[in-house]
Structure 1
Amino acid sequence: MEKVQLIRDRLKTAQSHQKSYADVRRGDLEFEIDDWELELPPELAEVHPVFHVSLLKKCVGGLASLVPFESVVVKDSLTYEDVPVEILDCQICRLINKKVASVNVSWRSQPVEGATWEAEAAHDGQVSSPLSLQFHSSLR
């Protein structure tokens, strides 16, 4: 019975520590009516300016991750197509019996930090760069 009591005490201690860590990060949020009404430019007049609080996400990137509205063409379906601008880097992953080529692509509406690794075949011929010429010769 002593071991069971010892285990229970340690569990309570661990739970207490977890609760204190969680309480420090958790804060009370107070909202008022019309707090989440967006100020949209005239081009987006079709978008409803009020949204549900459950759609909010924590902003991690800061001001550097904001996309200038002028660089994005929004379609009638309220979507946009991002265009690759430049290949920043190339890599080849060797699997058991084949090579997989990837390129690090910089996008028109994203800062350089927003570059993503994509399959090389998806961007073949769309973006030219000196890296792509070297990359194709290294695949052979």
Structure 2
Amino acid sequence: MRCHRRAGPYALLAALVMAAVGACGGAGAPPVEALVVTDARIVLPPPGAGSAAGYMRMRNDGDAALTLDGLASDAHGRVEVHEMKHEGGMMRMREIPALGIAPGETVSLEPHGTHLMLMAPQRDLAAGEAVTLTIGYRIDGERYQRVLEIPAEAR
């Protein structure tokens, strides 16, 4: 009998811990798949050029703002978000270290605007091959990631 009385508090503690772990979203998955990516494509550079470009539409389906803050590719040493702007009569390109997307907002990465630069190629790619792209982002200080297989196409 004495064992059964002691098991009660431990069983309650175990149930509370399991409930708390479940409420935290488990192993890094957002409660809702907040970042939705569509129309993704990688455009290969012309022969002899080193950087490829990435285009897509990204929508925040979550209830809180998210910030893209880390990108990686299995085929490139560096991936950055860049933006092109007219400044002083010239077109200039600069890196955007962190890209914010408000709840319900869609951001288009497209030619001559905000886009991905995939630099330092690690292997040769041919049209039709898939590039694995990992998109790291934060929501309310928690870190998440999406891993995508994106087709490469010739320019």
Q: TM-score, normalised by structure 2?
A: 0.28
Which structure: greater helix fraction? 1
Higher relative contact order (CA 8 A, sep 6+): 2
